[in-house]
Amino acid sequence: MSKKNKAKDIQEEQLNRAENEAVAVEEQQEEMAEELTVEEQLQEELQKEKDKFLRLFAEFENYKRRTSKERIELFSTASEDVMKTLLPVLDDFERALSHIEDDKEAEELRKGVLLIYQKLVNTLEQKGLKAMTVKKGDVFNADNHEAITQIPAPSDDLKGKIIDVIEKGYVLGEKVIRFPKVVIGQ
């Protein structure tokens, strides 16, 4: 071979090496770009999963708060049905006591009935039942009282006010389970 051919071959070999190196550099850059996009995709997926987790966690916290609130409310008013069924018994005791007070011969009977009535009232109060205080002459409020009827007021100062309380109202905890039944003046 001649020197020219050798030089040409060497040049071609160097050019091929340079081209191969350039191609290798390009491939390496493409791989790095692909790695970046894969890394970016992984970052996006990670962010989506974090967001999903945070939403799920917040939803679970709201569920826990709501169920604990419902549970507390249930415990505080669990005996509401029992209390409602016992209210007529309280009313009967009060009527019996008002009739027995007039009879002087039944003093021992009155004491016994009063003792049982007080025991029942104390037991119900321990369970959260409280009587609403409504007096004759109080201003009528439709949110707090149940008007049975209206009668002409005996005096002008009793117009729109309570003239008589027919049935007591009761509160269990903070919930009204029976509104007081009243007669109002018109």
Give me the CATH number covering residue 159: 2.30.22.10
Most confident of 10-14, 88-92, 142-146: 88-92
**What pLDDT, on the 0 to 100 scale, is given for residue 14?**
78
**pLDDT tens by residue, 27-42:** 777 777 676 677 888 8
The answer to whether 149 and 181 are in contact (CB under 8 A) is no
Claim to verify: residue 46 and residue 36 sit in the same structural domain: yes
What is the C-alpha separation between 148 and 7, in angstroms, rounded? 122
Which one of 55, 78, 101 terminates a domain? 78
Contact by Cβ (8 Å): 185, 152: yes
Q: Cβ(73)–Cβ(86) under 8 Å?
A: no
183: phi then psi, degrees, rounded to nearest 5: -110, 130
CA angle (78 as vertex; 81, 116 as ends), nearest 5: 60
Which string of b and e fits 1-16 if b means at least 16 CB within 10 Å?
Answer: eeeeeeeeeeeeeeee
Contact 185, 143 (CB under 8 A): no
Are residues 83 and 69 located together in one domain of the fold? no
Are 137 and 170 within one domain?
yes
Structural domains of the chain, count? 3
Indicate if 163 and 115 belong to the same structural domain.
no
In this structure, the answer to whether residues 42 and 84 fall within a common structural domain is: no
56: its two tokens: 């799920």
Give the pLDDT band (50/70/90) at residue 170. very high
Output the pLDDT for position 128. Answer: 86
CA 140, CA 161: separation in Å to the nearest integer?
5
Q: How far apart are CA 178 and CA 171, in angstroms?
A: 7
Same domain, 123 and 145: no
- Mean predicted lDDT score pLDDT of the chain: 84
- pLDDT at position 52 is 92
Six-digit token pair at 108?
A: 């021992």
Residue 60 and residue 18 share a domain: yes
- Which distant-in-sequence residues (6+ apart) come within 8 Å of 174 by Cβ? 76
Q: Are residues 25 and 71 in the same domain?
A: yes
Helix (H, G, I), strand (E, B) or coil at 44: helix
Label residue 60 by pLDDT band (50, 70, 90). very high
Q: Which domain holds residue 166?
A: 129-186
Q: What is the pLDDT of residues 78-93, one digit of tens each?
A: 778 888 889 999 999 8
Whether the pLDDT of residue 127 is over 80: the answer is yes
* Higher per-residue confidence, 104 vs 17: 17
One domain, residues 161 and 141 = yes
pLDDT average, residue stretch 42-54: 91
